[in-house]
């Protein structure tokens, strides 16, 4: 039993939806966003008129939530400001506090990444202490991975196993940008180096698309003809500004550990109760790190843990079953809520048969990572464990 | 590993200017807390360790060792000549900074190797505190 009941336990996710994802979307961004909103509401079985809480944004047009209220006929009374998992927490607390009853979180990105001579805009932090060194997100995370390899002997083959496993999940998902693109660990190791130890196939893809979630009060959800997914626990761990401070492993490498502990305490569960991990996968190494900090294995043992099919669908602990950022999509801010979305779809069985985790009841999701100096965690389940 | 002059250069702020002025003068400046003595980099308004003391600018020895490193083969912008080595250097005083290791090949770099600052002027205003391997002579 959890030590104390969380207000998050009053709230459920009732709708989850991804729009079409593509390397570059040739659709107007607000059209993609509108699809995300309507798709999420259809998944919840709720009409637009039921929405009284809004956190709806877009990347290029920079639509903000208060503007977006107009898309809902100016009826909603609550708007959210957070992104990703914190947006889910924020909306859930608003519902629990009675500020709104049905909240839509949706975001979209289209036609942003057009300069192919440079890496994607969101990988290039602009700051006086990083930009001049040719740093970008792969290098920031590589500095963490290198230190882990030095301290614990983590092997490139382990990173390649993670990348191949997740990419092969996406290869079997018809909605994945890299659908059909199967790779072996050897092919990961043979792909061109980006920032060592990361090869191209160790890194997230770049793509565009939209996504949406619908949350409501657990009482309201009883009237709906959908399987509600409960918020069992949530936590955030913010250790400073990402891509400014040097990503020093000894100070920041375990970012997210305390959030994970908080989440399991709220839920009254342990890591061994988790059936599937829809955790953040910007780079292969981050999976190894998170398996350690969330308590699925001991510090330094993540590299061995991921081998021999253990983290594949059908294995002991399936990880990133939709292909994640490495294969499914890595779109704007949508990719952040796509973690809880893939968890909801897995727990509801709304995923191709080849990727189904049988009898999955509890899913752990996360955003962020070591190189980003933050890690947000959300635990979802088919029933309240409190 | 030459640097094109068109790479994005730092734009010093009121907080960071003493660091960049020092680089131009050939001195590696870092903040130190007057209360707890810990070093602070990047520049902060408040000591992130004790939150109590005033931060003062002091001179670093400019010597340290490689804490972590990566060689970038796909640069974020075409202005960078890849491959180049990005490193976190742990200075003798115990603080860390991001930098480039210059005048070495990627294969020569390893965690723990001794390094020293190597100032490289890239504009009238900006000199970058790169580092080079300290080779025994």
Which of A142, A197, A244 is closest, CB to CB, to B42?
A244
Among chain B residues, the shortest Cα distance to A115 is held by B77
Inspect the interface and report whether the beta carbons of A139 and B78 lie closer than 8 Å.
no
Burial class (CB in 10 A: 0-12, 13-18, 19+), A49: exposed
Asked if residue A194 has pLDDT above 70, the reply is: yes
Q: Chains A, B: CB contacts under 8 A, how many?
A: 111
pLDDT at A113 over 80: no
Which helix (H) or strand (E) segment holds residue A34: the answer is helix A29-44
Could you read off the pLDDT of A333-373 as tens digits, one per residue?
A: 999 999 999 999 999 999 999 999 999 999 999 999 999 99
Select the more confidently predicted residue: B136 or A355.
Answer: A355
Q: Does B16 touch chain A (CB under 8 A)?
A: yes
User: What angle, rounded to 10 degrees, do the helices at A284-293 and A156-171 form?
Assistant: 100
Confidence band, pLDDT 50/70/90 cuts, at residue B81: very high
Tens digit of each residue's pLDDT (9 = 90 or more) over A225-244:
999 999 999 999 999 888 88
Give every CB contact of residue B129 below 8 A, 6+ residues apart in sequence.
Answer: B23, B28, B62, B97, B99, B117, B118, B119
Tell me: pLDDT of A258 over 90.
yes
Q: What is the pLDDT of residues A6-27, one digit of tens each?
A: 999 999 999 999 999 999 998 9
A2 confidence band (pLDDT: 50, 70, 90): very low
Map out the domains of chain A as residue ranges.
7-114+208-221, 122-197+229-381
Q: CA A313, CA A174: separation in Å to the nearest integer?
A: 16
> Candidates 2.60.130.10, 3.30.110.30, 2.40.50.840, 3.30.230.10; correct CATH number of B17-133?
2.40.50.840
Percent of chain A with pLDDT over 70: 97
Cβ neighbours of A198 in B, within 8 Å = 70
Domain boundaries, chain B: 17-133
The CATH number given to A7-114+208-221 is 3.40.47.10
Q: Which residues of A268-286 are buried (b: 16+ CB within 10 A; e: fewer)?
A: bbeeebbbbbbbbbbbbbb
> Does position B1 have pLDDT exceeding 60, yes or no?
no
Which of B68, B102, B112 should be substituted to probe chain A, the one whose Cβ sees the most A Cβ atoms within 10 Å? B68
Q: What is the mean pLDDT of chain B?
A: 93
Residues 6+ apart with CB under 8 A from B33: B39, B40, B47, B49, B50, B52, B53, B54, B55, B56
Q: What is the pLDDT of residue B32?
A: 97
**Mean pLDDT of chain A, nearest integer:** 95
* Chain B contact for A354 (CB, 8 A cutoff): no
**Which chain B positions have a beta carbon within 8 Å of A138's beta carbon?**
72, 74
Rounded mean pLDDT of A183-202?
98
Q: What is the pLDDT of residue A18?
A: 98
Edge-first strand listing for the sheet containing B29-33:
B39-40, B29-33, B55-59
Residue B11 in contact with partner chain A when CB distance is under 8 A? yes
CB interface of A with B, residues 107-146, below 8 Å: 117-119, 123-124, 126, 128-136, 138-139, 142-144, 146
Among the partner-chain residues A134, A150, A193, the one whose CB lies closest to the CB of B76 is A134
d(CA B21, CA B14): 11
Name the residue of chain A whose CA is nearest to B69's CA.
A143
Task: For residues B12 and A128, give the distance between their C-alpha atoms in angstroms, rounded to a whole number.
Answer: 7
Which is higher by pLDDT, B136 or A265?
A: A265
Say whether domain A122-197+229-381 belongs to CATH 3.40.47.10: yes
A238 touches chain B (CB under 8 A): no
Q: Does A7-114+208-221 match A122-197+229-381 in CATH topology? A: yes
B45 touches A: beta carbon within 8 Å:
no
Q: Which of A123-132, A252-261, B80-89 has the lowest mean pLDDT?
A: A123-132
For residue A120, pLDDT beyond 80: no
* pLDDT the model gives residue A119: 77
- Give the closest-approach CA distance of A118 to chain B in angstroms: 5
pLDDT at B5 over 60: no
Q: Is A197 an interface residue toward B (CB < 8 Å)?
A: yes
- B136 to chain A, minimum CA–CA distance in Å? 24
Q: Which residues does chain A have within 8 Å of residue B77's beta carbon, measured at their own beta carbons?
A: 117-119, 124, 134
Q: What pLDDT is recorded for position A386?
A: 60
What does the pLDDT look like over A28-78, one tens digit per residue? 999 999 999 999 999 999 999 999 999 999 998 899 999 999 999 999 999
The pLDDT-based confidence of A1 (bands split at 50, 70, 90) is very low
pLDDT of A4 reads 62
């Amino acid at each position: 039993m959890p030590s104390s009941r969380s207000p998050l336990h009053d709230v459920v996710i009732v709708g989850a939806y991804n729009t079409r994802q593509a390397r570059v979307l040739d659709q107007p961004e607000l059209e993609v966003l509108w699809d995300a909103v309507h798709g999420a509401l259809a998944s919840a079985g709720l009409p637009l008129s039921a929405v009284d809480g809004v956190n709806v944004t877009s990347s290029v047009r920079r639509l903000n939530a208060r503007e977006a209220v107009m898309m809902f006929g100016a009826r909603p009374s609550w708007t959210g400001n957070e992104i990703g998992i914190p947006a889910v927490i924020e909306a859930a607390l608003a519902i629990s506090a009675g500020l709104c009853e049905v909240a839509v979180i949706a975001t979209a990105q289209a036609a942003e990444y057009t300069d192919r001579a440079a890496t994607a805009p969101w990988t290039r932090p602009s700051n006086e202490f990083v930009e001049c060194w040719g740093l970008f997100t792969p290098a920031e995370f590589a500095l963490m991975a290198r230190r882990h390899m030095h301290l614990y002997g983590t092997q490139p083959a382990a990173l390649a196993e993670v990348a191949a496993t997740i990419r092969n999940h996406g290869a079997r998902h018809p909605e994945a940008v890299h659908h059909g693109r199967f790779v072996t660990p050897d092919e990961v190791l043979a792909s061109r180096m980006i920032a060592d130890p990361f090869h191209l196939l160790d890194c997230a893809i770049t793509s565009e698309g939209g996504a949406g979630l619908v949350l409501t009060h657990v009482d309201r959800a009883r009237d709906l003809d959908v399987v509600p997914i409960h918020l069992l626990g949530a936590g955030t761990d913010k250790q400073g500004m990402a891509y400014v401070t040097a990503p020093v492993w000894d100070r920041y490498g375990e970012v997210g550990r305390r959030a994970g502990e908080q989440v399991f305490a709220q839920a009254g569960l342990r890591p061994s109760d988790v059936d599937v991990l829809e955790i953040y996968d910007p780079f292969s190494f981050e999976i190894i790190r998170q398996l350690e900090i969330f308590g699925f294995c001991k510090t330094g043992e993540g590299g061995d843990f991921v081998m021999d099919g253990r983290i594949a669908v059908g294995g002991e602990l399936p990880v990133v079953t939709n292909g994640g950022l490495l294969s499914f999509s890595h779109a704007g801010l949508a990719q952040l809520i796509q973690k809880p979305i893939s968890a909801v779809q897995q727990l509801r069985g709304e995923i191709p048969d080849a990727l189904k985790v049988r009898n999955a009841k509890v899913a752990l999701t996360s955003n962020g990572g070591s190189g980003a100096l933050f890690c947000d965690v959300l635990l979802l389940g088919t029933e309240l464990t409190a | 590993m030459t640097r094109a002059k068109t790479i994005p250069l730092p734009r010093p702020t009121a907080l960071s200017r003493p660091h960049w002025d020092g680089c131009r003068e050939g001195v590696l400046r870092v903040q130190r807390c007057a209360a707890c003595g810990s070093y602070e980099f990047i520049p902060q308004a408040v000591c992130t360790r004790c939150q109590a003391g005033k931060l003062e600018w002091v001179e670093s020895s400019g010597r340290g060792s490689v804490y972590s490193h990566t060689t970038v083969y796909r640069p974020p912008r075409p202005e960078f000549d890849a491959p180049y080595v990005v490193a976190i250097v742990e200075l003798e005083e115990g603080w860390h900074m991001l930098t480039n290791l210059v005048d070495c090949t990627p294969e020569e770099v390893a965690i723990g190797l001794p390094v020293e600052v190597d100032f490289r002027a890239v504009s009238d205003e900006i000199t970058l505190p790169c580092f080079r391997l300290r080779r025994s002579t």
